[in-house]
Amino acid sequence: MQIFDYEDIQLIPNKCIVRSRKEVDTTVEFGGRTFKLPVVPANMQTIIDEPLAQWLAENDYFYVMHRFNPERRADFVADMHSKGLFASISVGVKPEEFAFVKELAGHKLNPEYITIDIAHGHSQIVIDMIQHIKKYLPDTFVIAGNVGTPEGVRELENAGADATKVGIGPGKVCITKLKTGFGTGGWQLAALRWCAKAASKPIITDGGIRNNGDIAKSLRFGATMCMIGSLFAGHYETPGKKVEKDGKMFQEYYGSASEYQKGAHHNVEGKKILLPLKGHIADTLTEMKEDLQSSVSYAGGRDLEALRKVDYVIVKNSIFNGDQY
Ligand SMILES: NC(=O)C1=CN([C@@H]2O[C@H](COP(=O)(O)OP(=O)(O)OC[C@H]3O[C@@H](n4cnc5c(N)ncnc54)[C@H](OP(=O)(O)O)[C@@H]3O)[C@@H](O)[C@H]2O)C=CC1
Ligand SMILES: Nc1nc2c(ncn2[C@@H]2O[C@H](COP(=O)(O)O)[C@@H](O)[C@H]2O)c(=O)[nH]1
């Protein structure tokens, strides 16, 4: 297997067939809905909250609400449905989460999407949860993860997952590779390619995206969606705590397996960082769209399909030859 990451890849241009980048369609179909972009903010407490989830759904972006206010989740589903919006929530795998799924079904609350969100998703308990959701909420689109191998993808798909999420430890606030020695950190893009070859259903690549061009690269190597934390941290609408330091505004971004999330120092695999406050999330999404439209025009197409087979070169660390902005 060839090992590389985002910074080692450059995609090779084809003849442009559009007269303006505005002609390029960046929409993606996922789970029976069409979204404006193939990106989704990470289901983390400093990245998404209910108002932002609602705004994203209203504006045709995919979202996944986090699972860290468990008692709010049923009401959240009901609230979204009362507004005519889709509901997309997260669950864990502890016994109370199995009970919660049954409770949703008992109240006829059928979220359109459920993401099973645990660190090591290639496990029997996740397979049990997929089957449990499919039994009680058969119409719900189930995203399961995270995994980092083709075997993981195949087993979760065979259990009934409608999509799998790939990425063990490439996140900006992740310390899994340091604490455990395991993961796809540093080779997430190659791991995505490895997993995508085994997949028969959509893959969400999760973690490690640092530049908008990495979205195009993710699509080239098999992702349907990109889950992104750090690029979305530091907006007025993201819920991380705003902090002033030396006269400048920052926002906290912490890992879901950090002591700040857990409230205890057990099995910690995440840390907290401060990122500069950079404005409104709508502007960041617009810039992502424009950059992706450019990517597609370089690929010689009109929509995201053009990126899927574009040629590429591997040049170690080539995008960091003094080109930071
Ligand atoms: N994408 C990534 O690389 C990572 C993401 N995270 C995020 O952190 C949050 C917390 O995750 P997580 O700790 O899984 O959540 P939870 O503790 O809620 O759930 C995990 C369950 O699986 C059990 N388990 C067994 N082996 C493992 C293992 N190697 N890692 C984790 N759990 C294991 C745990 O039991 P017990 O606790 O008793 O062992 C627990 O019951 C999630 O939101 C997750 O997405 C965390 C690490 C890596
Ligand atoms: N190893 C850990 N990974 C974590 C933790 N909390 C979240 N995450 C993962 O990171 C991505 C976001 O990555 P980014 O590079 O875009 O910032 C997120 O979706 C999770 O999969 C954690 O505590 N430890």
Tell me the DSSP string of 270-312.
B-EEEEE----HHHHHHHHHHHHHHHHHHHTSSBGGGGTT--E
- Report whether residue 115 contacts ligand 1, using a CB cutoff of 6 Å: no
By percentage, how much of the chain surpasses pLDDT 70?
A: 98
Residue 155 and residue 131 in contact, taking contact as beta carbons nearer than 8 Å: no
pLDDT at 324: 63
CA of 176 to the centre of ligand 2 (A): 9
Residue 156 CA to residue 164 CA, distance in Å, equals 7
CATH of the domain at 73: 3.20.20.70
CA of 155 to the centre of ligand 2 (A): 22
Does some domain include residue 318?
Answer: no
Does some domain include residue 1?
Answer: no
Does some domain include residue 3?
Answer: no
Which sign does the torsion angle of CA 122, 200, 216, 12 carry?
positive
Q: What is the pTM of this model?
A: 0.97
Residue 155 and residue 167 in contact, taking contact as beta carbons nearer than 8 Å: no
In the structure, which protein residues have their CB atom closer than 6 angstroms to any atom of ligand 2?
Answer: 42, 44, 146, 167, 169, 171-174, 176, 206-209, 227-230, 255-258, 269-270
Does some domain include residue 244?
Answer: yes
Taking only the tens place, the pLDDT of each residue in 148-182 is 999 999 999 999 999 999 999 999 999 999 999 99
Does some domain include residue 321?
Answer: no
Helices 50-58 and 73-82 pack at an angle, to 10 degrees, of: 30
Does some domain include residue 324?
Answer: no
Does some domain include residue 284?
Answer: yes
Q: What is the mean pLDDT of the chain?
A: 97
Domain count, the chain: 1
- Residue 60: domain span: 9-313
Judged by its nearest atom, the ligand closest to the C-alpha of residue 205 is 2
**Average pLDDT value for residue range 224-229:** 98
Q: If pLDDT is split at 50, 70 and 90, which confidence band does 147 have?
A: very high
Q: Name the more confident of 129 and 319.
A: 129
Residue 299 and residue 13 in contact, taking contact as beta carbons nearer than 8 Å: yes
Does some domain include residue 267?
Answer: yes
CA of 120 to the centre of ligand 1 (A): 6
